[in-house]
Chain A
Amino acid sequence: MGVFRYFKKGQVQNLESIIVTMVIVILLVLGVYFYFKFFAKNLQQTGLDLSEIKGTVLLDRITSLPEFTCGINCVDASKLLASKNVINSNKLYYKNLFGDKFGIKSMIIEQVYPKPRISRECLSSDFNSGDYPLNCRSYVVYENEVSGNSYNISSVISIYYPNKDEYMLGKVILGVYR
Chain B
Amino acid sequence: MKKGQIEIIGLVVIVIMLVVLLIVYFQFNLGNNNDNYLDEVRQSSQTSSFLGAFMKTTNPKVSDLLIRCGGGSCNELDRVVKEMMSEIYPSRKYSFEFKKDDRVMHSIKNCDKTIPQSNKIKENNAVYEVFFWFC
Contact = CB atoms under 8 A, between A and B. Distances in A.
Interface SS, B side:
helix
Contact of B83 (A24, A113, A164, A165): A113
B54 A169 contact: yes
Contacts of B17: 24, 27-28, 31
A115 B18 CA distance: 60
Given A34-B24, A156-B50, A171 B56 contact: no
Nearest to B80: A113
A135 to B, nearest CB: 15
B14 A158 contact: no
Interface residues of A, number: 38
Interface in B12-37: 13-14, 17-18, 20-21, 24-25, 28-29, 32, 34
Interface residues of B, number: 31
Interface in A138-154: none
B10 A20 contact: yes
Nearest to B3: A13
B14 A23 contact: yes
A72 interface: yes
Given A72-B52, A157-B49, A167 B14 contact: no
A23 to B, nearest CB: 6
Interface stretch (A48-56, A86-94, A98-106): A48-56
Contacts of A156: 46, 49-50, 53-54, 88
B57 A158 contact: yes
A31 B21 contact: yes
Contact of A34 (B21, B49, B83): B21
A62 interface: no
Given A73-B49, A171-B88, A49 B21 contact: no
